[in-house]
Structure 1
Amino acid sequence: MDKENLASKIKALRKRRGFSQEQLAEESALSLRTVQRIEKGETVPHGDSLRKITQALKVNPDDILEWAPTEDKGYLTVLNLSGLSFIFHPLLGIIIPIVMWILKKDKIKGVDDTGKKLINFEITFTLLIYALLLVWSGGKYWIWDVSALDVAISLLSTFSIEASIVLLLCLYNISLIIMNVIRSKKGLKSSYVPAIPFMR
């Protein structure tokens, strides 16, 4: 691993622990100047310094030395497809992508960006669907009820405009996910719009 990758990994791990450079220096019993030089890539920690840093960050030395974001289009595909879980319940369309994003956001290229966009879109979608259902049903449907797609299909039997709108929104969600699966296989960035930027 080159100095820059090692420096950025240590910095990322420090921030994940919620440490300032001063706190890392204190926890690792290294000087602040040493921590600053390591994070700037001016020096590479070896031996005792590496051991102290890894102990302070509560990670394995191998986690730092072998780390480099890898490319995995398969994982990006599955991450995008995880949004389809909204079909079973809209909250699953948020929870499953969040779990997948947390697990690999620092390990696989593109997961952080794709995950945030997908999660923002699914939160926006869920809020919109339930706002519409609550208004149109007079409070009959709630978040813990059946999925929005089930409600739309059951309401569609009455051929109402409301049910058609909910069904169209569900179909738009599905088509957007499929489009982003194709984009990820081509190595392109994902695009989920519209979405309120809850996660930046």
Structure 2
Amino acid sequence: MENSELPKRVRDFRIKKGLSQEELANKTGLSLRTIQRIENGESIPRGDTLKKIAIALQVSPEEIIDWQIQEDDNIITLLNLSQLGFIFFPWIGIIVPMIIWINQKDKIKNVDSIGKVILNYQISWNILLFGMLIALFIISPLIIIIWYLYNFILIIINTRRYIKKKQVNYKPTFKILQ
């Protein structure tokens, strides 16, 4: 662990929780000056101090010490394949990838950007599906089957593209998440 990284992690976790330094000091029972010293890199929290900060920030001490973005192609592959939940119910193709994205976006490299692309696509796909279901009385039900097949094939193609280290490309997509 580099000492220069720990102060940044404490500050990032504090900001992510929406706490001021004073609020963190109150939650931990530590002095404001101690929190300031830790965030300025003048002091490295150990033992009980680290534990108090971790509890207040709702993270483990290991996350503060070892926090780093890792590469995990298995998570990205799982994120891509999780869209297949749409087969059982269209919204599952959004919910499962969203859960993975929310839980892993700050921990695994590329999950944030690929997750946004996937969620934008699945939300767009669901909006268009809903529009097609409304038009079902006018258009043949075959169009719905073709639309499901298109989504299935696009998920498989883009999963394979990611595994081969190529750019994923989901179309059509509305830019909902930036």
TM-score (norm 2): 0.79
Partner of 2:150: 172
Partner of 1:146: none
Question: Would you say 1:73 and 2:73 are equivalent positions?
Answer: yes
CA contact (8 A) 1:3 1:42 kept: no
SS in 2 for 1:13: helix
Partner of 2:9: 9
Using the alignment, how far apart are the partners of 1:9 and 1:99 within structure 2? Answer: 23
Q: Over aligned residue pairs, what C-alpha RMSD do you find?
A: 2.9
Using the alignment, how far apart are the partners of 1:96 and 1:170 within structure 2? Answer: 17
Q: Which moved more, 1:190-199 or 1:68-77?
A: 190-199
Where in structure 2 are the equivalents of 1:134-145 lying within 5 Å?
134-137=134-137
Where in structure 2 are the equivalents of 1:18-167 lying within 5 Å?
18-32=18-32, 34-36=34-36, 38-39=38-39, 43-137=43-137, 155-156=141-142, 163=143, 166-167=144-145
Q: Which moved more, 1:171-180 or 1:36-45?
A: 36-45
CA contact (8 A) 1:120 1:197 kept: yes
CA gap 1:15/1:124 in 2 versus in 1, 3 angstroms: farther
Q: For 1:195, which of 165, 173, 176 is the aligned residue? A: 173
SS in 2 for 1:109: coil
SS in 1 for 2:173: coil
Gaps of 5+ in 1: 139-151, 157-162
CA contact (8 A) 1:81 1:177 kept: yes
Cα deviations across residues 113-134 of structure 1 (Å, max 9, x unaligned)? Answer: 2222211211111011111211
CA gap 1:21/1:134 in 2 versus in 1, 3 angstroms: farther
Q: For 1:183, which of 145, 151, 161 is the aligned residue? A: 161
CA gap 1:113/1:93 in 2 versus in 1, 3 angstroms: same
CA contact (8 A) 1:5 1:68 kept: no
Q: CA deviation at 1:48?
A: 4.2
| Equivalences, count | 178
Partner of 1:159: none
Cα deviations across residues 123-166 of structure 1 (Å, max 9, x unaligned)? Answer: 1110111112113337xxxxxxxxxxxxx9x822xxxxxx2xx4
Gaps of 5+ in 2: none
CA gap 1:171/1:2 in 2 versus in 1, 3 angstroms: farther
CA contact (8 A) 1:76 1:111 kept: yes
SS in 1 for 2:170: coil
CA contact (8 A) 1:3 1:43 kept: no
CA contact (8 A) 1:68 1:107 kept: yes
SS in 1 for 2:106: coil
Q: CA deviation at 1:105?
A: 2.2
